[in-house]
Amino acid sequence: MRYRVSSLTPLLVGDGRKLSPIDYMVWKDQVNVLDQPRIFRLLSRGPRLDGYLSQLKRADRLDFASWGGFAQNFADRRIPFEHPSCAVHWERSRVESLQIPTFAAGLRGPYLPGSALRGALRTSLLFAGLKDGSLEKIAALFQGDRPPRRPAEILEERVLGAGGGNRLRVMQASDSEPIASACLKVYLLRVASLRARGRGDGFELGWKQSPKGTADGSKPAEGSPLFAEMAPPGTAFEGTWTETEFLKHPDVVRALNWRQALTRESLFEAANLCAAAQIASHARYAESTGLSLVVQALEKLSSRLAEARQTGRSCLLCLGWGGGVVAHSAWLKTDDPVYREIITQGKVFRSVYPNFPFPKTRRIVFLEDRPATLPGWVLLEVFE
């Protein structure tokens, strides 16, 4: 069987690598990634190598006036910006904003790791299996002198199974086949935040600044930008999908202490339930902050989710970088006082403001220099 993952919003599934400002130059509204080994071989033949190495050592970005020819002639690859305005914001940005996380890639090109797909499905299945009151026993573990290092591990094993008894063993997804590098673009993102109104009555939109501070919500250009190499909407990743029929046999199910074998239909239904809860959380946030384009994008995602649930043969997932706590947590009732107590005592977050929704930030993708959508949403389909 085969699977297809189609990106609905800009998507980044990385491998931890980033382009530093001395690894690339911006020229003609695109990021020109320099072929450094080739440059070193060229400069080693003459007297300019010492000057180039000195600038690499002390500069936060390469001087285009001196070395811009390399961007034109010695670029390993060229990644276009999503919009010409991105280059303008790049020029004005502080150096800490210029690290560009890149899409996972091998020798044959960018690909979607199967582990990212499996992780999102695991989170969705755990979300569907949790019940009200599931966190109370975990909260009790923090009452001792030594808080647990992995407080939710017992809960996960009870819902999903432990070790070789993990229910997701039935389904396996390979890494996708590589796609063309030319499909990818560099997108501009900013972090939307909530801040208290002047009289302390409610909260309003702000844009996070680096190293600290929050800009006014009506002035997104004053917020610190983020740049990321992402797959644009419509990009498709295909790979092999395997279902182990042996693990569905009644005797095997009993031996593994499962109530029932996991089916593709039940897995997709769990994923769609989780996606519906995530979209609802984002929609409340976008409506309260007045991000009208984001609201429209979430309405489109809701329509795609309704179609997926009606057919039962596909599901929506939020993958990779940029999704934040909402995309990577199986417990989305963030106003639950028990949940807030756990994350505060567990020191996962430095502070949780009692009168604010949690989380109070979202990474927002800018399209044509306007806050438009959320990253990482895809449609997963499996074909016989």
- Would you list the DSSP string of 137-162? HHHHGGGSSS--SSTTHHHHHHHH-S
Q: Would you place residue 35 in the very low, low, confident or very high pLDDT band (cuts 50, 70, 90)?
A: confident
Q: Is residue 361 part of a domain?
A: yes
Query: Are 252 and 311 found together in one domain?
Result: yes
Q: Is residue 211 part of a domain?
A: no
Choose one of 46, 71, 98: the last residue of a domain: 98
Q: Would you place residue 355 in the very low, low, confident or very high pLDDT band (cuts 50, 70, 90)?
A: low
Tell me what the mean pLDDT of segment 309-322 comes to: 92
Structure tokens at 119: 């992780």
Domain total of the chain: 2
Amino acid at 363: R
274/300 Cα distance (integer angstroms)? 17
Q: Is residue 173 part of a domain?
A: yes
More confident residue, 247 or 230: 230
List all residues 6 or more positions away from 287 whose beta carbon is below 8 Å from its beta carbon.
295
Name the phi and psi angles at 54, rounded to 5. -65, -40
Helix 114-129 and helix 153-160, axial crossing angle in degrees, nearest 10 = 90
Query: Are 127 and 272 found together in one domain?
Result: yes
Query: Are 26 and 71 found together in one domain?
Result: yes
Range of the domain at 237: 2-14+110-179+228-383
Query: Are 29 and 6 found together in one domain?
Result: no
List all residues 6 or more positions away from 178 whose beta carbon is below 8 Å from its beta carbon.
105, 106, 108, 109, 110, 111
117/109 Cα distance (integer angstroms)? 18
Diameter of the chain by CA atoms? 75
Q: Would you place residue 344 in the very low, low, confident or very high pLDDT band (cuts 50, 70, 90)?
A: confident
Tell me what the mean pLDDT of segment 44-62 comes to: 79
Mean pLDDT of the chain: 88
Query: Are 76 and 173 found together in one domain?
Result: no
Whether the Cβ atoms of residue 198 and residue 208 lie closer than 8 Å to each other:
no
Query: Are 279 and 344 found together in one domain?
Result: yes
Query: Are 293 and 150 found together in one domain?
Result: yes
DSSP H or E stretch at residue 192 = strand 185-196
Interval 63-76: pLDDT, tens? 777 777 777 788 88
Query: Are 144 and 53 found together in one domain?
Result: no
Structure tokens at 139: 């909260």
Query: Are 93 and 235 found together in one domain?
Result: no
